[in-house]
Structure 1
Amino acid sequence: MALVAVAAWTANLQVLAATSSNVLQLTANTFFPAIHENSLIMVQLYVPWCKFCQALAPEYEMAATRLKMLSSEVVLAKVDCVTEDSLCDALGVQSYPTLTIY
């Protein structure tokens, strides 16, 4: 019975993740305000072509959805280092994905 409930809950999370994102997409203009406005934020710095970033994306989204459902103060965000290359360079990103906590 518990396994059925967990499977149903996971399926619901996947549907929620597919319809809207609970991961904040940050840019150079929104990065610093976001880290100052949130008491705890984890930022994934990624590039779309990276296979490791692609593998992490659905798990990261599911984690963000779970945190939101739990009314957690922890926020998950991401920065596309192709479009925001100057920001990623300034942050010293050398490999992908890079996860940072602020």
Structure 2
Amino acid sequence: MPTDTYGPLSITTDTYGPLRFPTDTYGPLRFPTDTYGPLSITTDTYGPLSITTDTYGPLMITTDTYGPLRFTTDTYGPLRFTTDTYRSLGTSTDPYGP
């Protein structure tokens, strides 16, 4: 696949990143889009709901800055199936989110 300024394997192009199906402001390979881009299959700078890691986002299938394997979203991400910085093995709410 070709590469461009912001990355290889773009399905469509936008300002920042490669390998996205719909485009949004920030991140690659998201299925629904939002401001910071959830459901990234590959990494990007901002997006939550990443299947692999990124800098910020909750709802990761693998780890990120605020914690791994969360399936609902909040600032620090409860409902994780493995541990992270703020709560280990949570299956309901914690002090950092619903």
Shorter-chain TM-score range: under 0.3
Scaled by the length of structure 2, what TM-score is found? 0.23
Q: Normalising to structure 1: TM-score of the pair?
A: 0.23
Relative to its length, the structure with more helix (as a share) is 1
Larger Rg: 1
